[in-house]
């Protein structure tokens, strides 16, 4: 059976799942703010951002099943760019879904939103993500040196970008 990949709006019954995803230790390790949240914390945050025109949050689905959470933020139509982020639920990691999810995100930015540039940051220790991003055409443009503190050690955040004119 052929799998289908899609992005959809967040629905009210997604919020508990989103809190569980956020609080996954592997997800927390790769977030800039690595603290666990409660459902109440999440819902307060959601109320602040859900109608912000500079942000889009969507659920990534594979054949109708929730698999990941996509983040489009600092959307700047004047300068034609935004910042991206995403997480995949633990039980779905290692199945090749990240490439499909990020491809949909890139398509949304360039084809639907008409943006020229997208960017992201990734932890220097997140080699799996870096490989995915590079395979999609993202280019490293610099580092925020020693900007993540994890397990008693400072790590760099790698800054990467992709232009509509050099996408794959």
Which residues 6+ apart lie within 8 Å of 111 measured at CB? none
CB 30 within 8 A of CB 122: yes
- 3-state secondary structure at position 134: helix
End-to-end CA distance of the chain: give it in Å, rounded. 26
Q: What is the pLDDT along the chain (168 residues), one digit of tens a residue?
A: 799 999 999 999 999 999 999 999 889 888 888 889 999 999 999 999 999 999 999 999 999 999 999 999 999 999 999 999 999 999 999 999 999 999 999 999 999 999 999 999 999 999 999 999 999 999 999 999 999 999 999 999 999 999 999 987
Whole-number pLDDT of residue 19: 96
Whole-number pLDDT of residue 168: 74
CB 165 within 8 A of CB 139: no
Confirm or reject CATH 3.40.630.30 for domain 5-166, answering yes or no.
yes
Backbone torsions φ then ψ of 148, nearest 5 degrees: -120, 135
**Sign of CA pseudo-dihedral 64, 92, 86, 141:** negative
Backbone torsions φ then ψ of 79, nearest 5 degrees: -100, 5
Burial of 82 (0-12, 13-18, 19+ CB in 10 A): buried
| Separation between Cα atoms, residue 90 and residue 94, nearest integer Å | 9
Whole-number pLDDT of residue 116: 98
Whole-number pLDDT of residue 104: 98
Angle, CA of 41, 98 and 95, to the nearest 5° = 110
Domain boundaries, the chain: 5-166
Tokens representing 90 are 């633990």
Backbone torsions φ then ψ of 144, nearest 5 degrees: -100, 100
CA dihedral of 30, 72, 59, 87, whole degrees rounded to 10: -10
């Amino acid at each position: 059976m052929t799998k289908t990949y899609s992005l959809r709006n967040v629905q009210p019954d997604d919020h508990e799942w989103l809190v569980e995803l956020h609080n996954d230790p592997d997800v927390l390790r790769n977030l800039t703010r690595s603290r666990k949240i409660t459902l109440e914390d999440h819902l307060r945050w959601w109320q602040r951002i859900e109608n912000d025109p500079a942000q889009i949050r969507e659920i990534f689905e594979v054949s109708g099943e929730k698999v990941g959470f996509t983040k489009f933020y600092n959307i700047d139509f004047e300068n034609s760019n935004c910042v991206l982020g995403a997480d995949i639920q633990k039980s779905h990691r290692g199945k090749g879904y990240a490439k499909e999810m990020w491809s949909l995100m890139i398509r949304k930015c360039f084809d639907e939103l008409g943006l020229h540039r997208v960017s992201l940051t990734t932890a220097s220790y997140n080699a799996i993500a870096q490989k995915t991003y590079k395979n999609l055409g993202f280019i490293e443009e610099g580092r925020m040196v020693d900007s993540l503190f994890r397990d008693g050690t400072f790590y760099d955040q790698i800054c990467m970008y992709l232009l509509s004119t050099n996408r794959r």
